[in-house]
Amino acid sequence: MPIDRRHPREIRADIRGGKISGHTSGMGEGYVQANLAVLPKEQAYDFLLFCQRNPRPCPLIEVTDVGSPEPVGVAPGADLRTDIPRYRIYKDGVLADEVTDVTPYWRDDLVAFLLGCSFTFEWALLEAGIDLWHVKHGKNVAMWPTSIECRPAGAFYGPMVVSMRPVPAGQLSKAVTASARFPNAHGAPVHIGDPKAIGIEDITQPKWGDAQHFDPGTVPVFWACGVTPQAVALKSKPPFMITHSPGSMFITDLPNSSLAAL
Amino acid sequence: MPIDRRHPREIRADIRGGKISGHTSGMGEGYVQANLAVLPKEQAYDFLLFCQRNPRPCPLIEVTDVGSPEPVGVAPGADLRTDIPRYRIYKDGVLADEVTDVTPYWRDDLVAFLLGCSFTFEWALLEAGIDLWHVKHGKNVAMWPTSIECRPAGAFYGPMVVSMRPVPAGQLSKAVTASARFPNAHGAPVHIGDPKAIGIEDITQPKWGDAQHFDPGTVPVFWACGVTPQAVALKSKPPFMITHSPGSMFITDLPNSSLAAL
C-alpha cells in the first residue's frame, strides 16, 4: 500500500468524509496512531484505574471529558465519532454492529480512551535498524493471551495479551532500548525467549494475527499488546462499549518522537 | 539527623506504634517515599484523570481499591491509616485536624492515592555528583505556583507548582538526564533559567519552603512539585480529604531504582 504522507488532519478529513474506510497502516507516517475504547461514565473509573495499574498493555495517551468526542490533548478539532475509518459497537460484551460513523450511538455520558499502539515502537525498531518480518511481508504480528495476569481494577481483570516479533540475537539489546524509550506505546518487551515461561504452548499457532517466520538465530520477543484492554473490558461485559475495528486506528497529531520518554 | 537504614517495613511498624511522629527525611534510605491524597469515591475519578493528564506534577504510583487502606502494589501489608507519621484532615477545603492516626476518620468510600516525590530524583541527582545546597544545609527546597496551567479534569484545575534547586551550569545536562530517568518522581525539569518566563517574579522569595543560595555560575532549575495535586485538590474544596502532613511521607517497599524508566 502506498504511504500517505499528508498531515493527519487532512487524512482525518478524508475519513470523516467517507473517502477512507479501511486500515490505517502506512497512513500519516511518523504520527502516533491510537486504539479507541469508549465506555459510559459508570465504567470509566474502573477502566481508567485498570490502565493506571497496567501501563505496559494499557498506555493511556488521552481521556476525553465526559460527553465530549474531541481529543483536545492529541488532536484538537478532531471528532472521535467520525474520524476513525471503522468502529465496533458492543452491547453486554457482544459485538452488535460495525459502522463507519458512531454519531447515532453517541451519548452524553460517554468517555473516550485513546491508548498508544505498537506502530510507534515498531517505527522505533525499524529506525534502529531492526528488520521486522511481518512488516516486510505485509503480515500482521502474532498475538496470544499469556499466563501473566493484569492487576485487576474494579470490574476489569484478565490476562495480559502479548504480540511477538522474531529478533536476531545480536539485536536484542537494541530492541529493548529502542522500544523502552516509548513507554506510552507499550515500552520495552515484557519477555524475551522461551514462550512456555509466559504460558504460550505453541509459538507456531498464534491466537490472533499471523504466524511469524523465524530466521536462524532469531529469538521470539514479546511486547504487551493493545488488544489487552479491549479483551479485558469486554470480559466484564459492560452494557455498552465502542471500539475501533482492528487495524482501523485513530491518527493523532502527535509525532512519534513526542512520545519518547528520554 | 542520623540516617535510618532499616527496611521500610520496620520503620512503618515504629510509625504505627507511635514511636515516630515527625519527618521522614533520611528514613528508609534508598526507598521511594510518597505523597498521600485520600478522597471519597465521588471525587476519585476526576482526581485520577487529573493525575493522568498532568503526570509531571502528579506521578501516580498507587491507587487503592475503594475502602481499602492497603497499598498492595507498593507496600503489601501496610496500612495507610496508621503508617504515616502525621496526617491532615480537610473539610470543604479547610484544615480541620492534624493527627497521627486516621483510623477514626476512615470510611468505606475512600480511595487513597500515592504520588511519587522529589526525594527519589534528588537521590538520582546526588548519585550523579550534583551537590544540592538545601540538602547540605538541612533546608527545604524553594517552591512557587507558576503561570503554567495544569490541564483541568472535572472539578480539578489550577497552576503547576514547581520546586527550584540551583545547579552549576556545567552540570545542567546531567541534572536533566539523571532526573528524566524517574518520570514517576516528577522526571526532568519543566524549566531551566529565567524565573519570569514561568511567572516567578522574585527568585529570592519562595511562596513555600526556604530561599536558596546561588553560588556563582549556578542556574535556577525548576521541577514539577508534589504540592501541585494537594493545592489543586483543595482548591476545588472537596467535602472531605486526608493528606500526609508536609515532610511526613509514606515510605514504600520500592527501591528508588525500581522507578527508573530506563
pLDDT at B221: 97
State the best of A48, A68, A176 to mutate against chain B, taking most chain B CBs within 10 Å.
Answer: A48
Tell me whether 0.90 is exceeded by the ipTM: no
**B28, B151: one domain:** no
Res. B261: pLDDT tops 90: no
**A112, A139: one domain:** no
Contact B183 A261 (CB under 8 A): yes
Res. A233: pLDDT tops 80: yes
Residues of B in contact with A262 (CB under 8 A): 177, 180-181, 261-262
User: How many domains, in total, are found in chain A?
Assistant: 2
Contact B48 A53 (CB under 8 A): no
Cβ distance A134 to A203 under 8 Å?
no
Tens of pLDDT, residue by residue over B150-177, are 999 999 999 999 999 999 999 999 999 9
pLDDT at B108: 97
Assigned domain for A215 exists: yes
Provide, for chain B, the percentages of residues in helix, strand and coil under a 3-state DSSP scheme, each rounded to the nearest 5: 25, 30, 45
**B108, B238: one domain:** yes
Mean pLDDT, residues B46-62: 96
Question: How far is CA A84 from each of CA A16, A251, B134, rounded to the nearest angstrom?
Answer: 7, 8, 52
**A124, A210: one domain:** yes
* Integer Cα distance of B181 and A183 in angstroms: 12
**A67, A13: one domain:** yes
Is A60 within 8 Å of chain B by CB? Answer: yes
* Integer Cα distance of A88 and A246 in angstroms: 9
Gyration radius (Cα) of chain B, Å: 18
**A170, A204: one domain:** yes
**A88, A168: one domain:** no
Res. A1: pLDDT tops 60: no
Contact B52 A45 (CB under 8 A): no
Give B20 or A78, the one with higher predicted confidence.
A78
Cβ distance A149 to A159 under 8 Å?
yes
Res. B1: pLDDT tops 60: no
Please report, for the domain that includes residue B89, its CATH number.
3.40.1640.10
Tens of pLDDT, residue by residue over B81-108, are 999 999 999 999 899 999 999 999 999 9
Mean pLDDT, residues A65-83: 97
A2 pLDDT tier (thresholds 50, 70, 90): low
Cβ distance B234 to B90 under 8 Å?
yes
Res. A26: pLDDT tops 90: no
pLDDT at A11: 96
Mean pLDDT, residues B37-62: 96
Residues of B in contact with A261 (CB under 8 A): 180, 183, 261-262
Res. B43: pLDDT tops 90: yes
φ, ψ for residue B252, nearest 5 deg: -85, 175
A26 φψ region: left (φ > 0), alpha (ψ -120 to 50), beta (else): left
Assigned domain for B129 exists: yes
Residues of A in contact with B71 (CB under 8 A): none
**B77, B162: one domain:** no
Percent of chain A at pLDDT exceeding 70: 99
Res. B129: pLDDT tops 60: yes
**A219, A241: one domain:** no
Which of A45, A60, A180 is nearest residue B45 as measured by Cβ atoms? A45
Please report, for the domain that includes residue A179, its CATH number.
3.30.2040.10
β-pair partners for A86: none
Assigned domain for A1 exists: no
Is A177 within 8 Å of chain B by CB? Answer: yes
**B100, B77: one domain:** yes
Nearest in space to A215 (alpha carbons), one of A137, A162, A117: A137
Instruction: Show which of residues 63-122 on chain B sit within 8 Å of chain A, judged by CB atoms.
Output: 63, 65-66, 73
Is B44 within 8 Å of chain A by CB? Answer: yes
pLDDT at B2: 61
Assigned domain for B1 exists: no
φ, ψ for residue B231, nearest 5 deg: -60, -45
Assigned domain for A2 exists: no
Nearest in space to A42 (alpha carbons), one of A130, A107, A129, A127: A107
Q: What is the nearest CA distance from B51 to chain A, expressed in angstroms?
A: 10
Which of A53, A60, A180 is nearest residue B52 as measured by Cβ atoms? A60
Tens of pLDDT, residue by residue over B195-248, are 999 999 999 999 999 999 999 999 999 999 999 988 898 888 999 999 999 889
* Cβ neighbours around A257 below 10 Å, total: 14
Res. B21: pLDDT tops 90: no
* Integer Cα distance of B107 and B204 in angstroms: 43
Least confident of A22-26, A92-96, A211-215: A22-26
Average pLDDT, chain B: 94
**B135, B85: one domain:** no
Average pLDDT, chain A: 94
Quote the pTM value: 0.89
Tens of pLDDT, residue by residue over A137-150, are 988 899 999 999 99
Instruction: Please spell the DSSP secondary structure of chain A, one letter per residue.
Output: ---B-S-HHHHHHHHHTTS--S--TTBSTTEEEEEEEEEEHHHHHHHHHHHHH-TTT--EEEEPPTT----TTTSTT--TTTSSS-EEEEETTEEEEEES--GGG--TTEEEEEEE-HHHHHHHHHHTT---HHHHTT-PPEEEEEEEEPPPBTTB--EEEEEEEEEEGGGHHHHHHHHHT-GGGT-S-SEES-GGGGT---TTS-SEE-PPP--TTEEEEEEE-THHHHHHHHHT--SEEEEEPTT--EEEEEEGGGG---
Res. B3: pLDDT tops 90: no
Contact A48 B44 (CB under 8 A): no
A234 pLDDT tier (thresholds 50, 70, 90): confident
Mean pLDDT, residues A134-162: 93
The domain in which residue B207 lies consists of 119-228
Cβ distance A36 to A88 under 8 Å?
no
pLDDT at A44: 96
User: B41-53 and B227-235 are packed helices; what angle lies between their axes, rounded to 10 degrees?
Assistant: 130
User: A227-235 and A41-53 are packed helices; what angle lies between their axes, rounded to 10 degrees?
Assistant: 130
Angle CA(B11)–CA(B15)–CA(B17) in degrees, nearest 5? 115
DSSP-assigned letter for residue B28 = S
Q: What is the nearest CA distance from B204 to chain A, expressed in angstroms?
A: 32
Give A26 or A51, the one with higher predicted confidence.
A51
Gyration radius (Cα) of chain A, Å: 18
Tens of pLDDT, residue by residue over B102-128, are 999 999 999 999 999 998 999 999 999
Mean pLDDT, residues B244-262: 90
**A166, A81: one domain:** no
Q: What is the nearest CA distance from B63 to chain A, expressed in angstroms?
A: 8
B25 pLDDT tier (thresholds 50, 70, 90): confident
Mean pLDDT, residues A43-48: 96
